Structure 1
Amino acid sequence: MVEVARIKALDPTVVNRIAAGEIIVSPVNALKELLENSIDAGSTVIEVIAKDGGIKMLQITDNGSGITKEDLPILCHRFTTSKLKSFDDLSKLETYGFRGEALASISHIAHLSIITKTKGSPCAWKANYSDGELIPLKNSASSSDDKEPKPAAGKDGTTFTIEDFFYNVPSRLRALKTSTDEFTKILDVIGRYAVHCGRVGFSCKKFGDSHYFLSTRSNLQIKERIRVVFGSPIANELIPLDIPEGFKELGLISASGQITNQNYNNKKSIQPVFFINNRLVSNDNLKRAIYATVLKFLPKGHKPFLYLSLNIDPGNLDVNVHPTKREVRFLNEDEIIDKLCACISEEFLKIDQSRNFQSKVLVDNRKRSDILADSHAEDDIDFKQPSQVAKKPRYEYNLVRVDASQSKITTFMAKSQPETPIGSQIPRSSNANQEQEEEEDDEEEEQDTNEDENHEERHADLPNHNQTQLQYMTNTKELTTINLKSILDLR
């Protein structure tokens, strides 16, 4: 008989570690949460440093409002936040964070260190966390039981340092990709926020490297931000999408974005950049509908770049759908998508008849007189070249080979007829040929006579001293007898 297992509560450490695995899947998820915290704090400069793709170390520094010393002891407790007070606040949420789980989850799967300073504080404060609780600082001169935050040097703002991701979850650590792939994901997320958040300057580099892989200034125009992040080929071919009035009857307050036109072509597709209420999200329905609309106007094989920001009534938006906040749901989704696709179609129809192409111009620095002289000289030259005739292929099985044994002697005979012996007579069979030749000779004589008469008439008006020098002689041609023999007689 199977023994019935008793139900018991899990240890809080196990519960927190399981929950952390749902929220923090890789270093890029932790980066996204901390970037949003920094933006909520009013930061204008955010710097990111990564070591081994963020697996060994990930550091985010901002110049935001900072965290007070009194809030540091409960900073990494679950469900502690300064952005939400009641459940009803979700319907009018204007910040990125709201659950208070990000820092708690990070502290359960990595070593977390924080240095923060508020604007009115005389110094910065440093604290270390593990499993949601304060722990003594490393290399601290105080006792090992002293877990309180310690004063430190620092500027206004906060620095988060995360080390040894998934040190206590080996299976999750092995599931991570290479450090290069993880760093590529980090750059992609930072770039997307840099495109959308125009008032914030972002920078990213590897640990120990002075070269910045990404660096954007604050207050840049949207096209310039796209140029810095995604390159000039995309920025040069953008079409603005702007719906300032939105569709308020559907809950869409406003919409704006950028999309590439027909001239842009890139074999490598770039995932669309979607922001809904300033939150980086992915929406497959929106992506499929817009791509289906845009591809009707693009040549086959072209893959567009799309950036779209939607401002939806917070009461119609549900952001608490996915643990990583990657997905959201909003009311009247199908109707809003149809309206957006119709607006995009109108923008493409405006430019469909007037496509612009860029070409290089060769500037001639010669004098105008030299250029005109060369142009007149070129006018006298015929540049017509023979048409290129396609050669027919030569197939061996179509060639005809003649057997030498079947050749005849007439193949090697000359075309001229042999001389006729003196005194020989023409056979009766050739009388018709002889009469024909005589007629031809008479015609030639008449033609020669007419030419002589015409020649004399043309020179009739010449002076007398020249007429004495013009003497003509007419020679009568004699008939020549030709002996024609058949090939049979020759044989």
Structure 2
Amino acid sequence: MPPTAGVIRRLDETVVNRIAAGEVIQRPANAIKEMIENCLDAKSTSIQVIVKEGGMKLIQIQDNGCGIRKEDMEIVCERFTTSKLQSFEDLSSISTYGFRGEALASISHVAHVTITTKTADGKCAYRATYADGKLKAPPKPCAGNQGTQISVEDLFYNVSTRRKALKSASEEHARIVEVVSRYAIHNSGISFSVKKQGETMADVRTLSNATTVDNIRTVFGNAVSRELIEVGCEDVKLAFKMKGYVTNANYSMKKCIFLLFINARLVESSALKKAIETVYAAYLPKNTHPFLYLSLEIAPQNVDVNVHPTKHEVHFLHEESIIERVQQHIESKLLGSNSSRMYFTQVLMWLHNTKEFLHYNGLEVGHIYLMGRYLSRLL
């Protein structure tokens, strides 16, 4: 008996929205990344994250940004509502993180969302709850400071397969801490904190007056921060600038840590990572890796940010040439730091071997130490 053709039906809008939400919001850390970017777009200088059960029970994010106007609260969780994009052509010069108006909408389709917000000129704050992208009741006036607090409860309560696929609460929490930490390192001048609900101590806390190196030290420790080399290059023809910090040949770890931001967006690039690790292979012990934090600024018209729903991948023009230029710059920096270190070691050996001669000529050990310190500054 020949097979019969199936009937094509239009999917229910709720089903469509949940499927779309699953593409944008894959796990709690993903939701937090989207909300942090909204905080940064709102010009916040303080971003505080509180989570419960790895973000599956509660995610609360508080900022001190510009807030949301009461008039906009009705549609703020609807799909394709945004203050950052008006026409498709605007994508070629987008300078904000958000642009599709999908993040809050997606979260509201798979969780219970409450927004409390106050603008600078608002007489009071307003609070509203949302479900499936819609306002459940008119916003209510309440007490509150300038900025926005978003509470996300019971993430994936209505998508059981996604909830079951998540890792343990402790592992999801670790992913959240990683995302917050990376944005904290990239955004010196903004204070970040992330902690579990009910805990007094934060897992990560950075200060608004801290430098990038201070924040790397806070997150990854002294062992990394004291072995950093500052890197930076630019190319007018390729229309890009690069700056950041990488570890020198003294430092290595079992797994590469690579923090990459392109136009201030946390992204991944396996090609760039591989190119840089190839350089380090000549300096580090076998099967060990460096720490890398790089920030690339590429002309917006040369970058396609609309590649992946989570925005963690971007495509850009002259990719091979830019990667090669970055690779060459890091190699030159490593070579310079390595030769300086070798030369300094040789000087110290010379000082040690001639200690008796120096003593014979009336120089004390303290003088030798001071000479070593002086030479280290010169190098």
Q: Do both proteins adopt the same fold according to a TM-score greater than 0.5, normalized to the shorter chain?
A: yes
In the TM superposition, 1:390-429 aligns within 5 A as: none
Q: Is residue 2:253 matched to residue 1:258? A: no
Matched residues in 1 for 2:69 and 2:339: separation? 60
Q: Is residue 2:278 matched to residue 1:292? A: yes
TM-score, normalising length: structure 2: 0.88
Corresponding residue pairs, total: 344
Matched residues in 2 for 1:270 and 1:58: separation? 29
Matched residues in 1 for 2:58 and 2:92: separation? 36
Aligned to 2:352: none
Q: After TM superposition, where is structure 1 displaced by more than 6 Å over at least 4 residues in a row? A: none
- Contact 2:177 2:194 (C-alpha < 8 Å) held by counterparts: yes
- Contact 2:189 2:211 (C-alpha < 8 Å) held by counterparts: no
Matched residues in 1 for 2:238 and 2:222: separation? 36
SS in 1 for 2:40: helix
Matched residues in 2 for 1:34 and 1:238: separation? 30
How far the C-alpha of 1:219 sits from its partner, in A, is 3.2
Of 152, 155, 167, 1:162 maps to 152
Aligned to 1:93: 94
Matched residues in 1 for 2:182 and 2:209: separation? 15
Aligned to 2:365: none
- Contact 2:62 2:149 (C-alpha < 8 Å) held by counterparts: yes
Letter in 2 for 1:45: S
Aligned to 2:121: 120
Aligned to 1:323: 309
Cα distance change of structure 1 residues 270 and 49 upon mapping to structure 2, 3 Å threshold: farther
SS in 1 for 2:224: helix
Aligned to 1:9: 10
Aligned to 1:177: 167
> Structure 1 stretches of 5 or more lacking a match?
136-146, 360-491
- Contact 2:252 2:284 (C-alpha < 8 Å) held by counterparts: no
Letter in 1 for 2:47: I
Aligned to 1:381: none
How far the C-alpha of 1:221 sits from its partner, in A, is 1.6
TM-score, normalising length: structure 1: 0.69
> Structure 2 stretches of 5 or more lacking a match?
349-379
Aligned to 2:368: none
Q: Is residue 2:129 matched to residue 1:133? A: no
SS in 2 for 1:210: coil
Letter in 1 for 2:243: S
Richer in strand (by share) = 2
Give RMSD over aligned pairs. Answer: 1.5
Letter in 2 for 1:236: R
SS in 2 for 1:35: helix
- Contact 2:60 2:152 (C-alpha < 8 Å) held by counterparts: yes
Instruction: For residues 279-302 of structure 1, give each alpha carbon's deviation from its aligned partner in whole angstroms, at most 9, with x where no partner exists.
Output: 000010011011111221223343
In the TM superposition, 1:305-316 aligns within 5 A as: 305-316=291-302
Matched residues in 2 for 1:264 and 1:2: separation? 64
Matched residues in 2 for 1:353 and 1:68: separation? 58
Aligned to 1:332: 318
Larger radius of gyration: 1
Aligned to 2:42: 41
Matched residues in 2 for 1:207 and 1:262: separation? 40
Matched residues in 2 for 1:271 and 1:350: separation? 22
- Contact 1:251 1:331 (C-alpha < 8 Å) held by counterparts: no
Q: Is residue 2:207 matched to residue 1:217? A: yes
Matched residues in 2 for 1:301 and 1:173: separation? 35
Matched residues in 1 for 2:7 and 2:289: separation? 57
- Contact 2:280 2:289 (C-alpha < 8 Å) held by counterparts: no
Letter in 1 for 2:264: N
User: Percent identity over the alignment?
Assistant: 50
Aligned to 1:61: 62
